[in-house]
Structures are given as C-alpha cells and as structure tokens.
Chain A
C-alpha cells in the first residue's frame, strides 16, 4: 500500500505510523512524501522518528548500536531516521529523560531555523523577480510563502516544546511563543489562487475581491497569533 503525506512534525508522523501499524500496516519505505506499507499483524511494530547528526546517512556505530538493542532502521531521509521495534519487546521510546529530549528537539529546531532563513532569502529573491516583471515569479512567491509559513509554524511549535521541557526541568523558559494561526497560510493560499487562476480580464473584480479576502485572512491570522502569544506570556 502506498500513501502520500507531508509531515514536518515528527511527533505527528510517529503517531500516524503507529496508528497504521495498529491497523496492520507496517511502513517499509519512504520517498518524497510517499510511504510504502506492508501488511503486518495489527500492532506488530512500534515506530519512532529520530534525528541524526549527518545528512542522509547513519553512522556504522549508530546502526550497530540500534541493531544491538533490537531496533531496526527502516528508512533514512535527510536528517530523519525512521526506526521500529517489535511491540512484543515492550514500550519503545527514544528519549526518556529531559536532557536528551531537549538536545533532540534543539537540533531539530536548529535545522528548521536554517531552513527558514534559506526559504526567506528565496522568498525575497522571487518577490524581487516578480515585481520587476517576471510574471511566473508571483507563483513562486506564493509557493515559497507557504513554505515559509510552514517553517515558521514549525519553529514556533518547537519553541513551545522546548520551553515546556525546560519548564519541567526547572529552568526558566526562554520565550513563550505560540503557533502561527492557520488563518495566515489560508490567506496565502487564497492569494495564490487569485493570482494563478483569476487572470482573465472579465474576472478582474472577483480577483480583487479574493485578494482582499486573502489579505484580511492574513491580517486576522497575525492578530490571532499575536493574541495567543500575549495570553501565554501572562
């Protein structure tokens, strides 16, 4: 069986893989958003997603260590390592103390921060191209805008996770952000639809309306996000 999914949040991906395993589908392979599944006994495997130190590969040491404790490396993808262990061996967790969990989420956040910086740079380059007359540029502006929003959202979510872990450890939280409201990406999406499909002269009014709606959505999203932050800051 083949499924297409895009996950940025490894905790949600893990939960999904485990739900699939419970239904009798064990993930065996991943490529570009496609997940391959093979039939298994319901709940046969427990899945976890690890974050490696090297891009696209696991060290021999890591592989040997994991094999030694009965953990099978199913797939590596970028920094991500999808692993599983038969459920018969008991509960399967990767990070069981606060220090190692903090280090784990810290390195994931570092990757998303770098990713955000790169995407933002691309965003402004495309915006510049679009404004200076490259019509297809607007398409990329919206596309990359969506990616920027998704990365921003992941950064904020990870800030939350890390702040929560630090609080549990008794350290003062470094910041108290909340996730970006879903209204922001919705606005971006609407805007891109307007720019992409409503270019006919006759549709001019509808295009304008759609774009105004998109701007309103985005502004509302920013306000909601800001409020959420204040509320948590109190």
Chain B
C-alpha cells in the first residue's frame, strides 16, 4: 500500500474541501461545517498542509484573483483524487470489518 496512507484527518478533509475550487477561508469553513465544529483548521496548520500538498502534487492552484482581495483558490489534482480513492477504500474496509464486532456480542448493538 502507498506509504502516504493512512491520511491524517487534516489532509483528508482538505482534499475533500478542494474537490471543487476553494480558497483558504472556504476550506476552513467547509471542514468546520462537515465535522460539526470538531475539526477546526488553525491558520498555521492549514498553511503548512497546503504547502505540503502542493509540493506532493495532490492539489494545485486553480486561479489567482488579482483584482479584489488576493484570494488563491486550490483544487484537487488527479494524483490527489487517486490518493483519496485509496484512502476511501481503506476506510470502507475498516467499516466493513468493524461489523464483525456485532457477531461477537449479539446483544450489544441492539
């Protein structure tokens, strides 16, 4: 399996948030909304992660709005999509196998 997996929660949610073009503020907001406020991306955390993901080629700059506020938008690359798909398969396996717990303790989940 890819040595990049498993993804950290931060990377997982950033990739998800840039499935469509999104800027820094938008990423923070979307991740917060998706997790019900559980995952809040700090400014430094997000900046460092974006730099790393850009270097790895998992996300790229989508557009630079030079006129109004300088807001850089990022979007996932095919490489990033591939990694995300692998992570999703891994998580699906986890969830699937987790069901075995119900066999062991028949009454526990009812």
- Residues of A that sit less than 8 Å from B by CB: 48, 50, 62, 64-71, 83, 91-97, 99-100, 103-104
Contacts and interface: CB of A to CB of B under 8 A. Distances in A.
Interface of B: 8-10, 23-25, 28, 40-50, 69-72
B5 to A, nearest CB: 15
A99 B8 contact: yes
Contact of A95 (B42, B69, B71, B72): B42
Nearest to A62: B47
A69 B45 contact: no
- Which 6 residue pairs across A and B have the least CB separation, nearest first? A94-B44, A96-B42, A100-B45, A93-B42, A69-B25, A69-B24
A94 B10 contact: no
Given A69-B24, A97-B10, A99-B10, A104 B71 contact: no
12 contacts: A48-B43, A64-B72, A68-B25, A68-B69, A68-B71, A69-B28, A93-B43, A95-B44, A96-B41, A97-B42, A99-B8, A100-B42
B24 A97 contact: no
A213 B96 CA distance: 70
Nearest to B44: A94
